[in-house]
Structure 1
């Protein structure tokens, strides 16, 4: 009787576990969607790097040059809201040549001020770059293109991702000789951020007389989705 009671308890405990493991058969697929579009804005990371015998002289020269660069940006019709300081550094410059008994020697100071600029008129990008360089900008960290309002493009990329997932699920079901049932879940990857913008091969040129030539190309925005389908009986 004691052994029978123990066996009954084991069955009672194991029953819910077995039931939890016998869910519906499913097919899980991941869909990808991409949308290409002509950009309507550019982001430029530029700045000024200066050197000086003292920290004060290096920073002073840098501040003067950056002020001239910002004034030129405003003269090029760049609004205040589209100009943002993105990096500011000041530090010693060392001589590691061993002329100081093997110890690094400070030979001057280096100041750097980086500014991120949004250019809403693509035809003006070349002129903006040419203008700021003439005013003292000597550092260019990057140039990228994008859409001022990319919500509709990203929504379309998501629709294409769902259609891609549905196509894959139908193909797998056909190959396996089963039928698709209802959708059990739809999810984007954790921490998902729409991909883009990425430069594409096709390019046109936004260029004025004597301006820096700039290839605007296309931007590519992408989305990803995971869908779980039930396999119909």
Structure 2
């Protein structure tokens, strides 16, 4: 028996690994797929902050970069427990050359530091993002919404997928005037969510950029709407059922 949802009973005498004692190779089998899809609010938001500096010599560029990096870090840290994680990523300082040729020379140095901040308190997110974007030669990307890796939503989706598999298998057995007798096996074929993607921002994410913009006193906080996350769980399950009277 084959259906459009790829669920089909298996009546062959294949492997009985995992079957309860009492079932035999002659027992009819039913193989089904259990699926779950949940839409939930995000639990965390991540922003990336790129601080840059330029100077005619390496030392000037490095000093300016150090000062701007410290300013950005102090601002982020001032939000206390609202910031759950703060990390410094790539650091680079490199020369910028004139046009290639026999007179090629260094005309300036440019430095860059990448900072990543993760917030669990969304009430502070809009204000922090705006204040960071006000800083000189500072770029802000995000927020990237996500669930925590240990979120109970993942377990909820898996349980729902198991219940769906059992319900679907019982429907097949009932259609044959039979009932399930044992579980043979369950195979997890993937569970994932709309987790945090790397730049560029995913659809629905906000992006704020400020390059060389003058600082604005009392800049209003951005009003951000969290992007709902989709969690999926999928599995295959096989059961034995009592022989039907056809």
Q: CA deviation at 1:139?
A: 2.3
* Structure 2 residue aligned with 1:223: 233
* Structure 1 residue aligned with 2:112: 112
Query: Which of 71, 75, 84 is matched with 2:74 structurally?
Result: 71
Residues 1:51 and 2:54 aligned together? yes
* Structure 2 residue aligned with 1:32: 35
Work out whether residues 94 and 111 of structure 2, in 8 Å CA contact, stay in contact via their aligned partners in 1: yes
Work out whether residues 173 and 180 of structure 1, in 8 Å CA contact, stay in contact via their aligned partners in 2: yes
Q: How does 1:143-182 map to 2 (within 5 A)?
A: 143-147=143-147, 150-170=150-170, 180-182=180-182
Work out whether residues 49 and 141 of structure 2, in 8 Å CA contact, stay in contact via their aligned partners in 1: yes
Q: How does 1:59-138 map to 2 (within 5 A)?
A: 59-77=62-80, 82-94=85-97, 99-100=100-101, 106-136=106-136, 138=138
Question: TM-score, normalised on structure 2?
Answer: 0.65
Aligned equivalents of 1:132, 1:126: Cα separation in 2: 10
Q: CA deviation at 1:83?
A: 1.3
**Further displaced range: 221-230 or 118-127:** 221-230
Query: Which structure is higher in helix share?
Result: 1
* Structure 2 residue aligned with 1:140: 140
The CA deviation string for residues 98-120 of structure 1, in whole angstroms up to 9 with x for no partner, is x416x986543332211111222
Residues 1:185 and 2:195 aligned together? no
Aligned equivalents of 2:105, 2:174: Cα separation in 1: 73
Q: 1:66 and 1:125, CA in 2 relative to 1: closer, same or farther beyond 3 A? A: same
Question: TM-score, normalised on structure 1?
Answer: 0.68
Structure 2's unaligned 5+ residue stretches are 1-12, 17-24, 197-201, 205-217
The CA deviation string for residues 64-95 of structure 1, in whole angstroms up to 9 with x for no partner, is 11110111112233577621113223334455
Aligned-pair Cα RMSD in Å: 3.7
Q: CA deviation at 1:181?
A: 4.2
Q: 1:63 and 1:182, CA in 2 relative to 1: closer, same or farther beyond 3 A? A: same
